[in-house]
Structure 1
Amino acid sequence: MPKDTLTADQIVRAAIALLDEEGLDGLNMRSLGKRLGSAATAIYWHIKTKDELVRLAGDAVWDEIALPDLDTTDWRTATTAMATATHAMLTRHPWLGQAFGSHLLYGPNKARVDDHTLALHERAGFTPTEADQAAATLLLFTLGAALGPASEIALTRRLTRNGTDARQALADTMTHAARIAAPYPRLRERIGTTGYADAPENTFHFGLHAILDGLTARLAQHTTEH
């Protein structure tokens, strides 16, 4: 694809697809150019560095989060919808959680989601400071909940690139972990029913509703105080 027909949006969309398949370590301008049918040099006409490309890709995926109408949706329903959509987005793009710790990420799509989240909590009755804290709590929990599957994907890729049978390596690890857990009855019982990096079923929804129960209680306390 000649540079005069290549657009920044095309590059970012191709980068997201490559990141989804290969992770951060698999993203480079040569592989991206091959995917686009273009020379790597043509990409540099639009995007100067890999860091800039990751930032743009990292912001673009936040556009996948639908924003509930705050005039027609109650606080808890809207918060649940946004947290669930964010968790699903992070699961679809497992490289993004890793990018939070290795790249400077910002942009209009993330800003749009952040502002809507703050407005959601403020409308519910939280002070601006509390809205900030509630939004941060939910985001950190959601990121953490998506970390297990994302880390297993990244680990599997690394093992495979090193010539290791990733599936066998993970199975062997679980066998060793089961031996270590043998003296501990509660751990022993659970470790035989999960895979590497797996959380118990419905952990995300359990944790989300536990956080929302606590925030709901704080809102009720505000009501009684005023």
Structure 2
Amino acid sequence: MAKSATATKRPRRERGSINPDDIIAGAFELAEQVSIDNLSMPLLGKHLGVGVTSIYWYFRKKDDLLNAMTDRALREYVFATPYVEAADWRETLANHARAMRKTFLGSPILCDLILIRSALSPRAVRAGEFEVEKAIASLVEAGLSTENAFDTYSAMSVHVRGSVVLQRLYEKNVAANEHAHQREDAIIGNAESTPLLARVSAEGHRIGAADERNFEFGLECILDHAAALIEEGKKPAAAKARRKR
């Protein structure tokens, strides 16, 4: 059931005792209770124990507040998903993808602010650019061209974000419809008209579901393609070495 847009009222603050950081922190607290969609300035004022005009003094409209929240969310996300080198490039990239997904799935607020509200924002694109540079350099060192390394990382990022957004939209849909009783990715097909669909669906495979099985399969496909490109790139070097003998 969807959370009602209510806020826990605090003792009223003295005039002038609130600052932008307090407001942003309180907005995150409130959003955890009522969601980003239901966050409002009057509710936030009640939550913080201040008059709503005290909030408008710093943030003239909700969109300004959400921009400030997004900036903080982006910093939190980058801090939570560092690119940490593992035994080899494949394990490193796979671990990074799983960490990204886990971070977003564990924080609906981060997902709503970064992936849904600010998906095409330049700020979201620039977030973690040093980590992306490190990842591309690691893939180039493994044998990919710079272009293929960039495309591989980009494909992984799109795969992670798409998986998370689909799951988040499903959760929003269920929360908005208290009578929902069947997943959109429920068992499909029947033994007579679509026997293949019926069999794999009964075994737990889901079309379009943002579940672990589909995520891991897609991730492995991206990694396999990158590995094939690396092997393909080794052939000219090997042939050149043979000609020099």
**CA root-mean-square deviation:** 3.5
Whether the aligned pair in 2 keeps the contact of 1:95 and 1:150 (CA below 8 Å) is no
Is contact 2:81-2:103 (8 Å) kept? no
1:90 match: 104
Equivalent residue, structure 1, for 2:169: 151
Relative to 1, partners in 2 of residues 1:192 and 1:128: Cα closer, same or farther, differing over 3 Å?
closer
CA distance in 1, matches of 2:161, 2:138: 24
Change in Cα spacing, 1:48 to 1:130, as seen in structure 2 (3 Å) is farther
Task: State how 1:44-83 maps to structure 2 within 5 Å.
Answer: 44-62=56-74, 63-64=76-77, 65-69=80-84, 74-83=88-97
With the length of structure 2 as denominator, give the TM-score of the two structures: 0.68
Distance (Å, rounded) in 2 between the aligned partners of 1:131 and 1:3:
54
**Secondary structure, aligned partner of 1:202:** helix
Q: Where does residue 4 of structure 2 map in the other structure?
A: none
For structure 1, which segment, 17-26 or 186-195, has the greater mean C-alpha deviation from structure 2 after superposition?
186-195
Structure 1 117/204 Cα, relative in aligned 2: closer, same or farther at 3 Å? same
> Does the residue aligned with 2:128 lie in a helix, a strand or coil?
helix
Q: How does 1:1-226 map to 2 (within 5 A)?
A: 1-2=13-14, 4-62=16-74, 63-64=76-77, 65-69=80-84, 74-94=88-108, 96-97=110-111, 99=113, 100-103=115-118, 105-107=121-123, 111-125=126-140, 126-159=144-177, 166=178, 168-171=179-182, 181-182=189-190, 183-189=193-199, 190=201, 198-199=209-210, 201-226=212-237
* Bigger Cα displacement from structure 2, 137-146 vs 198-207: 198-207
TM superposition shift of 1:42: 1.8
Partner of 1:162: none
In structure 2, stretches of 5+ residues that fail to align are 1-12, 238-245
Q: Which moved more, 1:181-190 or 1:95-104?
A: 95-104
Give percent identity, aligned residues only: 21
Q: Counterpart amino acid of 1:188?
A: A
Which residue identity lines up with residue 79 of structure 1 in the other structure? L
Q: Deviations over 1:43-81 (max 9, x none)?
A: 2233333223223323433424231355x7643333223
| Larger CA Rg, structure 1 vs 2 | 2
- 1:141 CA displacement: 0.4
Quote the offset at 1:200 in angstroms. 5.0
Following TM superposition, by how much is the alpha carbon of 1:150 offset from its aligned partner in structure 2, in angstroms?
0.6
Question: Does the 8 Å contact 2:31/2:39 carry over to 1?
Answer: yes
Distance 1:82 1:59, change over 3 A: farther
TM-score by length of 1: 0.73
1:93–1:217 Cα change, 3 Å: same
Cα distance in 2, alignment partners of residues 188 and 151 from structure 1:
26
Tell me the distance in 1 between the aligned counterparts of 2:129 and 2:40. Answer: 30
CA separation of 1:51 and 1:79: change in aligned 2, threshold 3 A: farther
